[in-house]
Structure 1
Amino acid sequence: MAKSNINKGKGKNADEIFNAFQTLRNEQRQLANKITELEMDLNEHKIVIETLQGVDKSRKCFRMAGGVLIEKTVGDVLPVLEYNRERLPQAIEALNEQLARKGKEINEYIETHDIRVHRGHRAPETAPEQATKSNVLVASE
C-alpha cells in the first residue's frame, strides 16, 4: 500500500505532504466509485433475473461479456446471473472494508502531518496551537 511510503518521511515539505494527501483522497474516491458501480450492477442483475424468470428457458437472449455481445439461451444465462448476484454483495462488503481502512489511513495521515482541511471560503475555526508545528492547509474541492 501507499501507507508505508507516505509515513516514512517526517521531513517532507508542504508540497510532498499535500501530494501524498491528494493521492490518498483519490484512492478513497476510486474505492467509493467502484462500490457505487457494483451496487448498480447488483440492482441491474436483480431486475434482469426477475425479468428472465418468467421467460421460457429455451428463448434466445443476449449477454454482454467483456464488451462483446453473446447470443445464448435464457437457460444458459440465468444461472450465471444468479451466481453473480450472490457474489456481488461479498465484493461490495470487501470494498466497504477497504474504504473504511482508507478513511482511517487518511485520518492518521492528517494527524501525523498536522493537516488542516479548509472547506470553501470560510475562515479556519481553530487557531494554530504552536508556532513550531508545520501546518499544511488543504482546500476541499
Structure 2
Amino acid sequence: MTEKKMSKEEIVEGFNQLRQEQRRIAAKVAELDADKAEHRAVIDALSEVSGNRKCYRLIGDVLVERTVGDVLPALTKNREQISMLTEDLNKQLAEKGKELNDFRQKHNITVRGENPNESAAAKVEAPPKPGQSTGVLVSKTD
C-alpha cells in the first residue's frame, strides 16, 4: 500500500496540530498539579483540627456545611484520583512528545532557532552554566 504524499502545508498543519495537543496536555497537567497542591494544603490544615469541627465545602456552586471528619477522607480520595490522572496525562504527554519527534524526523522538520545538529537529549542533559543563557525563545502561535 502506498502512502499519500503530503504537501508542505499539510505537513506544517499536522506538526502544529501535534504541538497544540501536546500543549493542551501539558496545560492540563499543570492545572491538576495546582489542584493537587491546593488539596494538600487544605488536608494539612484540616488534619490538625478536631473531626467534629464545622467546615464548609464548595460543591459545584453550592457551599455546604460539613464536619472535618466528613470532608477530610473525601479530600484525600480526590487528591489520590488527581495524582492518578496526572500520571496518566504525563504518560500521554511523553507519548505525544515521541509522536511529535517521529513526525519531525519523518518529514525532516526543523524549528526556527533550533540547532538541527544538536539532539534533544543533549539539550536536556547539559544544564546551562551559571550566568549562561539557555537560548530558549518561546512564542505563542495560538
Does the pair score TM above 0.5?
Answer: yes
Structure 2 partner of 1:25: 19
Q: Which amino acid aligns with 1:38?
A: L
Paired residue secondary structure (1:116): coil
List alignment gaps of at least 5 residues for structure 1.
1-7, 127-139
| Deviates most, 99-108 or 48-57 | 48-57
Q: Percent identity?
A: 45
Structure 1 partner of 2:10: 16
Q: Does 1:66 align with 2:50?
A: no
**1:30-45 correspondence to structure 2 within 5 Å:** 30-45=24-39
Distance change in 2, residues 1:39/1:111 (3 Å): same
Cα distance, 1:92 vs structure 2: 1.4
Q: Segments of 4+ in structure 1 off by > 4 A?
A: none
Cα distance, 1:104 vs structure 2: 0.4
List alignment gaps of at least 5 residues for structure 2.
118-137
Higher strand share: 1
Paired residue secondary structure (2:112): strand
Cα distance, 1:9 vs structure 2: 6.0
Number of residues of Structure 1 aligned to a counterpart in Structure 2: 118
Structure 1 partner of 2:105: 111
TM-score (norm 2): 0.72
Q: Which amino acid aligns with 1:75?
A: G
Q: Which amino acid aligns with 2:45?
A: T
